[in-house]
Each structure stands twice: as structure tokens, then as C-alpha cells.
Amino acid sequence: MLPIAFLILVFLTLQAPEVPADYWESEVGIMDRVNSIMPLDGSIAVTSRGGEMWKPDEMDGVYYIDVDSGKVIWHFRTKGDAFGCGSADLDGDGRMEVVIGSRDQKVTCLEGDGKVKWQVETKGYPISTPTIADLNGDGEMEVVIGTTNGTICSLRGSDGAVIWRFKAEGGIIASPAVGDLEGDGVMDVVFGDGKRFIYKLRGDTGLPVWRIKVDDEVDTSPAAADLDGDGRMELITASWGGMVYCLNGGSGEIKWKFQTGGSVISSPSLGDIDRDGKIEVVIGSMDHKLYCLEGSSGKEKWSFQAESPIIASPILGDLDEDGVVEVVACDREGDIYILSGPDGKVETSSLLNGGIRATPLLSDLNGDGRFELILGDDKGKLRRFDTPGGGKLIWAQFQFDSSNTGIMSPLTDADLADVDLPPKLPWMKREAVSVSIGISQYGKYAPEAEFADRDAIVFAEYAQDVLGVPEENLYLLVNEKANKGEFDKLFGERGWISRRVNINPSQTDVFIFYSGHGITSSNSKRFLVPYGSDPNYPESCYSFEKLINSLRKLKAKTITIFIDACFSGMGRKGETLVKHAKWLVLPPIDIETPSGITIFTSSSGSEISLSYPQKRHGLFTYYLLKGLKGEADEDGDFKVTVRELFK
């Protein structure tokens, strides 16, 4: 048997509470800027270039690592350096797969246990980190990846079959961004090449939409968001010549440029880091500086001078729950800087033995309420640091998410209904926990539940601004993230909710919101349908009785559940969820029982939960939000009671 990584555990206690504690380090081989650190089902997947770059050795490949101990669970060896990786549920079975490119000119898809699902040969090195998305709206995922010979292709996620190829002028080494940039329902693919071009392709066909030529080769992965609040997406990318570009996502027109003092190969991170309601662009340069730019104009807000070039993308999030966003920046010589988002001033710094070129990961991977910061270096070490707390995550990993889409797409003004902007009640703060789950896109086993993801996103905002739930006690899951494994993680005996409620159970209010599909089994048992579950097989879904029993054990002060789903076997548009279903007329769920739990449901018996297309919400959710916004306050005391809401 080939040896895998040698594991070293180091336990330290640091004096300053604001400095993350070094929890463990594990040897996994060299991690360069093309390598990835990804969350995967509560653990970590990382790619490695082995003991020596460009030379095959036993440490090349992808590692699956336990987040609590740093122990290597499995290691898949590639024939030569492993480059970037992406993860998603590619076949709708509720389990995450990992896709990697490697120096043997292959793209490999691995199951969650490290077994090969499929493998495709490429022409040229697939250094470009794979991006995963549903490109053609068929409910199934595709993988987009580029190579050094200039070919970019779309592969079917379930089996790796080539859907389309496009040949660029130059080599592609940066990950493409993928999303609907024009709001027209068509997914777009944007990337740069070594011949100074930036391209936009149609995601469904691979046909070119536009290309523009810039000052130098583009080795940076683009990112996109609505930077000026006009409801349209802008693209941010940069060149080897040190120029940062903001492009109109629809036309490719250059909206602004900013010149740094060195080459830029760090991919941009986007987010509102000073809480002014506007998105900033944070990007590193080979001139040793990290820049914070106004997203709307490109004007420099601040810059920070590091000790050496900045190659890894910065990470954005509130590390200590003080309401201030921090920026985590790393340089090529191993310096780690934690900066204040509003002004770029150093809060703390540390120096590691190895240089950091791979983008770190920031996430609460084990559900303990604190973030874990995972860093890999060019000396072969992977380290976990624990932060003091776990506030709001803004840009927590390379290219925003585990699918590497690079797209930050909040609700735009054009999409907003009258309930989509909750009133802010700053005096309403309480000991409370909220879980908000919305599943619109179900994959191959169930039809769309129209607007369910929007329902959950907006309810989470109401939970914070109206119900008074602290930001760190909010848990939001939408679409493919809301698989059965996540349900177990949330509602299990030692799950996320239990850990938070047990801090002070008798004083903690719990709010659960679910929008999506529900079904009833042949023995009249009700089930919620997580992403990837098959409604024809209730055992693959999540038992409503199991949910209630787990919540009953919490001993919380109050538990309130909102369910925008019916259990009749019908979807929101009247389509059938269960083949050959015999519709059952079931008694309604009594909102007074079980004791201590209040349940609001959108329907009972054989009734169907409907959507409200004009408001882009489920009908039940729309009126629930309307009531929470104040219309249910019959006596005008600025408090909405359960009785008022139920009326």
C-alpha cells in the first residue's frame, strides 16, 4: 500500500483571545495558487501538488480530512500534480462529489468516499479550477473547466460526457465564473486567457456572446455581483499587467479600471465590508499590496502593505462576532493578516513557516458556533485555526462557493415584493435560534418548488431584523445545500440547533422555517423532501415525526415551526410528486400540539400549497411575512403574537 500523508497534530494556547488558535497541522504536500480547500460534508477536501511540483510522487492528489483531528480519511492519488477542485451534488442523490483536474491531463470525478465516478481526458493541462452549475436549466449539474491549450468544455456532471467545447485564443489557467449575468434565464460562462482576451459564452451551447481584449494576459478568475445597485451584474477581473477591470456583465463594456503596482493573479473577493450597504472589491497584487476598491466606481478606499506578494484571494467575514467584518489576507512568505474591513488596519498578524498561495477556507465546519480557518502552504502543511466566534460570512472561500461560481447574486430591486424588505427593529434582540430552509431546485427526482429558495432567504432576514435572532444563530440552507445530510446535521441529537439551545435552553426561542415539497407515505406518515431525495421512496426523505421528536428534546423556551409545503403528493403547480399516488385526506396538524411546539402549515389534508407568482413567493410565506411585518398586529402594541399571526 502506498503511504499517504504523515500526520502531525500541534495543540497550542495563544494568549490574545482575538488571535485564532492553531489547532492542528497535517502534511498533505505542496499547495500552490491552483490548489483548492473545499468544505465537503462537514470535513475538508484539499488538492496537492505533492512533494515536488511538476514531478509525480506519492503525495500528489486529493485528500479528504477530518476537520476535528486533521486525520486523513482517504487520499486519491493522481498521476502528477492535482490542481483545483470543486464540489457539488452532481447526480441528485443527495451526496456531494468532488471534481479535480490533474497533470496527467485528466478531469476526475470522485464519490464522497474517494472512489472514481468518472474520468475524462483533456488536451492540455486542466489547471483551471472546475466550476459546477446547471448550465441549461434541466435540473442536472454540468462541470466547466479550461485547459492550457485554450480549450474550455462543459461536461455532464453525472457521467462526464462532453456537452460542448470552445477554443480560445490562448491558454486558460483560471477558473471561469458561471451565472445568469443578464437576468434572462440563460446561464453565462466568463473567463480570460493568455492572449489578453476575456470571453463570455452561453452556458447551454458554449457559443460566444462577446470577447474583449485587455492590456495583458488574464490569470485571474472573474467574480460578479451587482456593484452599483442598478439591478444588473458587473464582472471584476484583473490582468498580469496589474489592471483591475470592472465590466458590464451583459455587454462586456468596461465600466472602470484601476491600476495596481504589480501583476495580479489573486482572484477578487466581493462584499460589503464596511456595512454601508455597498459592495467593495478586495484584491491582492504582486506589488505586496491588498486593495479595497469601491465596487461602483473603482475608487481606492484603502490599501494595506504586506511583506511579500499577495497571491491567495482574501477572505471576508466577521471572525469574532463584534459586528465588524474582518479581511483575512495571506502573502507569499507565509504572513497572515487579519484586517478591519472598514479601514484596512491590522487587528492581528502571524507568520507561518511556508508561503501561502492557495486561498484559505473560513467556515463553521463542525457546528460549534466558531469559524475554522483552514490554510495550506507551499511547504506541505495544512493548518486549522479556530476563531473566537462565528459572525457573518461574506466571501469565505475561493470563488465564493464550493462550486466555484464566483457569483454573488442577492435579490435585486426589480425582484423585490412588498414583503422583501423587513422592518429593522433594533430593540428586538433575544436569545433565539433560527433555521431557514428553502428548496426550489430538486435535481432529477422532483419538480421545481417555485420561489421556495426566495421564501427561505427572506424569512432568514425577518428572523434577524423582526424576530430578533442574533446573526450568529441564523442557519440558511437553499437548494442543493439542503440535502438530507444537512438535515441530520441540523436536527440531530448533538446537531447545530441542540448545541446552541443547550447554552441556555429555558431562555431560548427556536424558529424553524421550511419551504419546499412534502409527501405522505402509504401508512400516513408525513415527510419533508430534502434536495436529492426521491418522493417515491419516503425513507430517502426526512420524517416530520423525527423532526418534531428531536425538537421536543431541546427543552427550549418556545419552538415555532412554519411549513410552506403540502403533504398531498402534489407540487406548487399541481404536478405529481409520487407516481401512481392515491391522494389521502389527512387531518390537519394541530398547532397546539405537541406541547410546547407551535406549528403553522400552509395546507392540510389533500390541499395543495400554492405559489404567488406576482409576489415571487409561496402564497403562505407571502402572508406570513406580511403578518410579521406588522399587518397582524391587531392591537397596535408593536408586537405580533402567535394568536394574531394565526388569525
Give per-residue pLDDT as tens, 149-195: 999 999 999 999 999 999 999 999 999 999 999 878 889 999 999 99
Query: What average pLDDT does this structure show over 597-611?
Result: 71
Q: Give the pLDDT score at 480.
A: 84
Dihedral of the CA atoms 162, 163, 169, 172 (nearest 10)? -60
Q: Give the pLDDT score at 16.
A: 31
CATH topology of domain 432-646: Rossmann fold (3.40.50)
Dihedral of the CA atoms 109, 115, 116, 117 (nearest 10)? -70
User: How do residues 304-360 score in pLDDT, each as one tens digit?
Assistant: 999 999 999 999 998 988 888 999 999 999 999 999 999 999 988 888 888 999 999
Helix ranges (H only) for 492-576 are 496-501, 544-552
Set of cell numbers at residue 351 = 507568520
| 3-state SS assignment for residue 256 | strand
Backbone dihedral angles phi then psi of residue 464, each to the nearest 5 degrees:
-80, -50
User: How do residues 513-533 score in pLDDT, each as one tens digit?
Assistant: 999 998 888 888 889 999 989
User: How do residues 614-640 score in pLDDT, each as one tens digit?
Assistant: 677 888 898 888 888 777 556 555 555
CATH topology of domain 4-395: Methylamine Dehydrogenase; Chain H (2.130.10)
pLDDT of 291 higher than 80: yes
Q: How far apart are CA 243 and CA 251, in angstroms?
A: 20
pLDDT of 428 higher than 70: no
Most confident of 49-58, 234-243, 342-351, 549-558: 234-243
Q: Give the pLDDT score at 15.
A: 30
Q: How many CB atoms lie within 10 A of CB 127?
A: 24
In sequence order, what are the residues at sequence separation of 6 or more whose Cβ sits closer than 8 angstroms to the Cβ of residue 200?
A: 181, 188, 189, 190, 208, 209, 210, 211, 252
Domain with CATH 3.40.50.1460 in the chain: 432-646
Domain with CATH 2.130.10.10 in the chain: 4-395
